[in-house]
Amino acid sequence: MSRQRLEEFDIMRGLAILIILFHHLPDYGFNFFDLNNFGIGLDLSFLNGLNTYFGLGLFIYVSGVLLQHNYQGLSGGGQGLSGGVFTFLKKRFFRIFPLYYISLALFIAMMSVTSIRTILVQALGLQLIFATPGHAPMLTLWFIGLITVYYGLFVLIKRAEGKGLRFFLTLAVFPMLLIIMSIAWGAGDPRLFLYYPVFLIGIYGDRCLSGINNYKRAAALAVLMLASIYLSVYQSKIVLSWGGILGIVLVMNCIMVSFTWLVRLISRRAITLSKYFKALSYSSYCIYLFHRPVWWTLLRLENPYDPETRLLYLAFVGVPVIILLAYAIQKGYDRFLKLVFMRSPSVSMERGS
């Protein structure tokens, strides 16, 4: 993959983590998306509701693209379990779980979690598989459960490549199992179903969609995204059925894919900005894991009574602290892995993986 394309993905991941930060910020300050708080008769809170699809959609899409590029050897004719698959799983484990366990410990302390079941399921990364109405995944960290499942699916999909019916069944069985689990046992988190098409499009759609390279096509994507947003607002008012749920999944995936490709196009045209996003991209995983604990700690140290002051405090003090701390943690973790494995830290932070 060319250096320019890697820099495009730096911009995309950097923007994704900023979107997520400002999606969660109202939880600690106040809802600044509702402009009525500033004397303007306009409520844009629905945009914040969509930010989760903008930010996480970018992350999931980029993950699919880069996994497909970096792990071609996992395909059906590639190495077996003792080779490529084992190496892939080892890299993913060290990339995700040690830092995740630190964050999980902080969340358990912050939220005073005492359920052994909840802690165990979270620790295994299976919180979305075993989610039920009475046992919802922990906020924010649910995403780790999602990518854990998707990485496992990626291995199965790659092993089935080039094998016709087996490949098709591998793609189709996962959403069917989720539907069965939901109907039969009331288990499984619907977000596994929701983000699955974006992940697949990241794996297999990048080459096709790379032809979107001019502003006319970008305008068409913008129209698609706006139409999808309108439909999402409309569908949120209807009674949910399986048809309604499938419609929402389709609409939300249209939003995520069209937004992703608008960002991708802008990134190509603004590649000189990549240096400003490089540190954000590099530390984006740690930013995601630790931004809530940092905000929580800052509010324990100083909690302004005035909501506007609290918002400014968390934005202009908290966000820089989050970014600097996340960068330091990721850098230190990579050095630790380099020391442990006596080689480059490719196990943890292979660029572009």
DSSP result, 266-317? HHHHTGGGHHHHHHHHHTHHHHHHHHHHHHHHHHHH---SSHHHHHHHIIII
pLDDT of amino acid 245? 67
What are φ and ψ of residue 327, in 5° steps? -65, -45
CB 48 within 8 A of CB 9: no
Helix, strand, coil share (%) of the chain residues, nearest 5: 80, 0, 20
pLDDT of amino acid 351? 45
- The rounded average pLDDT for each run of 10 residues, N- to C-terminus, in the chain (353 residues) is 72 95 91 87 84 92 91 67 77 94 96 92 94 88 96 93 87 91 88 93 78 64 68 52 68 83 82 86 96 96 91 95 97 91 50 47
CB 63 within 8 A of CB 147: yes
pLDDT of amino acid 349? 40
pLDDT of amino acid 244? 62
What is this structure's pTM?
A: 0.88
Distance CA 165, CA 252 (A): 28
Distance CA 108, CA 133 (A): 20
CB 69 within 8 A of CB 153: no
CB 56 within 8 A of CB 21: no
The single residue listed with the structure tokens 């993913």 is 92
